[in-house]
Amino acid sequence: MQIKRAFLVSILVVGIVLSAAVFVGFQEYKDTLYDHEQAGVDRTAEHVGSELEKQLSSLKRTVVVASANPEIADHGTQRQRRALAAFVERSEFAGVSVIAANGTMTNIVSNVSEERRDALVGADFSDRTYYRRAMNGTTYVSDPVEADSGNHIITVSTPLYRDGRIVGTMNAAFHLSEREFFETFASTLEDDQRLALHAADGTPIYTTGPAVSPAFSREVSVSELGWTVRVEKGPDSVQSTIRAVTLVQAGSITAVLGLLGVFGWRLYRLSIAQLSRLLRGFRDLEDGRYGTRIDLVASDEWQQVETGFNHLSETIAASRAERMARQRELERERDRFEALFQGVPEPVVDVEITDESTVLRDANEAFETTFGHAVEDVVGEDINDLIVPDDAGMADEADAIDGEAAAGEQITRQIRRDARDGVREFLFRSAPIDAEGDVSRQFGVYIDITDRNEYEARLREQRDNLDTLNQVLRHDIRNDLQLVTAYADLLTEVCEQRDGEEDSEERAYLEKISESAAHAVELTETARNMADVMLTDETERKPMRLRTALESELETLRSETDAVVVTDGTVPDVTVSANEILGSVFRNLLTNAVQHNDKDLPEVRVSATVDGGDGVVRVRVADNGPGIPDDRTEQIFGRGEKGLQSGGTGLGLYLVQTLVDTYGGDVWVEDGEDASVPNGASDDSPTGAVFVVELPLAE
């Protein structure tokens, strides 16, 4: 009975679906018919609006061309009147007038009487909109005005020029005659369409046919005047078609339902017996009697079902045998995985993370060797109880790692665990066994890094010792150099008091001593900076204020040298990604600009600009020295490179390059004569070398 009910329900559903499909199809046809009619109305409205725009543009061009006749601008003369009369005779305009710049009408040619003409000439028209618009230099088309004849009149006004000045306006009147003007547009209407034109203020200008209750309509605005073009069409044109479509729709649905009923009844009569045999066959398969065969006597289709069922039964029997073979293959794969699991040289564990603990399910031989626990003795226990040290915080750290792993994260962490020979340090990595399913089962690998960490600690200690040695040596050398400099100054004073000569041989020796001492001080400072660079981690950058670092070095240069130091604009108050020795970059560049200068009075010009698009700030240090040859612009940043006649260490620019690279920036040199001038910088910059430092802005 369930099969019968299901069959009848299926036939009913199919009937409803087919009827709905027929109904929807006819509805789509009706919608298409309405869309077609609306498209015709839209097309006509757009065409009428476009043609009206063209007509009005043609009228404006006619008036503008005529206004170029210089006789029309000759106010109040017969020449002006003849030119206006010739314009009316040759054009479609009914009349034309000229209004002078003071608003007085000077001439008119129209079909008005002589008395009316005399009254108009000399009258003031300065309050007319078309006059004011034309005097503003535009060609203007007025709103339509209804004449006594019932036609509408528009006025096209354009300015009159003489010697480049507006001396008046030319105003041409055009009759919007239905026969001559509007019927051109009416002739483009399709069957049963109605056209209505309205002025910008809503005044009706022209209509065709009687008013209808529109089923389709479209309005188009004429941008030239603000007029509205409305095309309408009533529903009569589609009603007859819709009625015919409705009758066909009802007949089609009736036919579909009738044919479906006959087909369903016959199919029902032929299928029940065969279905019973088929169901008995499926019950045999459910009971495990694979290979069961059925015999169906009916149409070719049921014969195909018989063949399909018998093939299915045989396939299931073969599949069961194949599944057993695949199970044996999986067992072999498991054995191979177990061999790989045990062969990994690092400790590997298989754990299950529960709400209460992290249970050890399996481990390899390396686990036993490293941690000293026999796997068979500790399987099922909490692994944290086995290998986590009793130190404070270790248990909390282990629980935190288990929580992250239970959340599906892959863990890579440096940890300390109890091993066979004491507490050792490991790099721990974990991952879910089933990456796309349950993450409670995890693999964990313990890589012993105790020896590596001890080696890194020794390196850090050696670096700290080197730093301390550098500080001690630099401090003692600077103290001794200060004594040398002080005694050299005292000897200089003694020589002056004794000999009174400024150019004596002793004075030359003392100046050489002072210069060498100063150079040695510079060398210790450079050595300090180089040590800081070599001992600084590139990741130890932080936001540093550019203005503070740069202006501090500028003040130092001004106080210690006679050089002219100029700053173009203000230094941007931005922060850059650097470290505490950022000032050394600018100190070496400024010192380089003075030391390598061959002028009696060195000049140094500094500017800074921010490039927000690239996220950098560029600092330019320019001098008036001899510049740098093109073939040395890359070499000067090498270690030990010195300029011509240089007394420096040869490490200053190398230090600049090294520091800027550490900050993730760049430094290069340009020739002063070819270098670009930043925004806000003076264009009388020195023409020697220009060093450009590019630093990343801090986030």
- DSSP states along 509-568: HHHHHHHHHHHHHHHHHHHHHHHHHHTS-TT--EEEEHHHHHHHHHHHHHHH---EEEES
What are the backbone angles phi and psi of residue 309, rounded to the nearest 5°? -65, -45
- Per CATH, is 344-448 categorized as 3.30.450.20? yes
Q: Is 590 exposed, middle or buried (0-12, 13-18, 19+ CB in 10 A)?
A: buried
C-alpha 107: how far from chain center = 65
SS3 446: strand
Angle at 603 between CA 653 and CA 694, to 5 degrees: 40
Q: What is the per-residue pLDDT for 442? A: 86
pTM of the entire predicted model: 0.36
Give 257-323 as a DSSP string. HHHHHHHHHHHHHHHHHHHHHHHHHHHHHHTT-TT------SSHHHHHHHHHHHHHHHHHHHHHHHH
Separation of alpha carbons 583 and 531, rounded Å: 15
For the chain, 699 residues long, the average pLDDT of each consecutive 10-residue run is 64 76 75 79 82 84 90 88 90 90 91 86 90 90 77 88 92 76 69 76 75 77 77 73 75 78 67 72 78 75 78 82 79 70 81 89 88 89 89 86 85 89 89 74 88 80 65 63 74 70 66 70 64 59 92 91 91 93 90 86 94 94 87 72 44 85 91 57 66 93
Separation of alpha carbons 320 and 648, rounded Å: 89
Separation of alpha carbons 661 and 667, rounded Å: 8
Q: What is the per-residue pLDDT for 541? A: 83
Separation of alpha carbons 383 and 336, rounded Å: 25
Which amino acid, 46? E
Cβ atoms of 584 and 659 closer than 8 Å: yes
DSSP for residue 365 = H
Cβ atoms of 195 and 48 closer than 8 Å: yes
Which amino acid, 267? L
CB atoms within 10 A of CB 653: 23
CA distance readout (Å), 605 to 18, 436, 619, 623, 678: 88, 64, 11, 6, 12
Provide the token pair at 417: 């665990």
Angle, helix 546-560 to helix 582-595, in steps of 10 degrees: 30
Torsion of the alpha carbons at 342, 348, 352 and 356, rounded to the nearest 10: 140
CB atoms within 10 A of CB 353: 19
Q: Left (φ > 0), alpha (ψ -120 to 50) or beta: where does 202 sit?
A: left
Q: What is the per-residue pLDDT for 644? A: 36
Which helix (DSSP H) or strand (DSSP E) does residue 418 occupy?
strand 411-419
CA distance readout (Å), 641 to 330, 598, 644: 70, 18, 10
DSSP for residue 501 = -
DSSP for residue 106 = E
Q: What is the per-residue pLDDT for 648? A: 45
Separation of alpha carbons 199 and 176, rounded Å: 12
Nearest C-alpha neighbor of 172 from the set 95, 115, 118, 117: 95
Rg of the chain over all Cα atoms, to the nearest angstrom? 51
Q: What is the per-residue pLDDT for 572? A: 94
Q: What is the per-residue pLDDT for 643? A: 43
What's the topology of domain 537-696?
Answer: Heat Shock Protein 90 (3.30.565)
Cβ atoms of 672 and 688 closer than 8 Å: yes
Give me the residue label for tokens 């044996």: 328
Provide the token pair at 25: 């199809």
Q: Is 558 exposed, middle or buried (0-12, 13-18, 19+ CB in 10 A)?
A: middle
Separation of alpha carbons 228 and 243, rounded Å: 35
221 forms beta bridges with 228
Check if 31-234 and 537-696 are the same fold. Answer: no
Separation of alpha carbons 368 and 520, rounded Å: 62
Separation of alpha carbons 375 and 530, rounded Å: 55
Alpha-helical regions (H) of 540-695: 546-560, 582-595, 652-662
Separation of alpha carbons 170 and 323, rounded Å: 101
SS3 109: strand
Taking the domains of the chain in order of start, what are their residue ranges?
A: 31-234, 344-448, 537-696
228 forms beta bridges with 198, 221
SS3 171: strand
Considering the segment(s) 31-234 as one domain, its CATH architecture is: 2-Layer Sandwich (3.30)
Nearest C-alpha neighbor of 444 from the set 454, 433, 435: 433
Length of the chain: 699
Provide the token pair at 500: 């009174």
Burial 369-396 (b: 16+ CB within 10 A, else e): ebbebebeebeeebbbebbbbeeeebee
Give me the residue label for tokens 């008013």: 211
Burial 250-286 (b: 16+ CB within 10 A, else e): eebbeebeeebeeebeeeeeebeebeebbeebeebbe
Q: What is the per-residue pLDDT for 178? A: 52
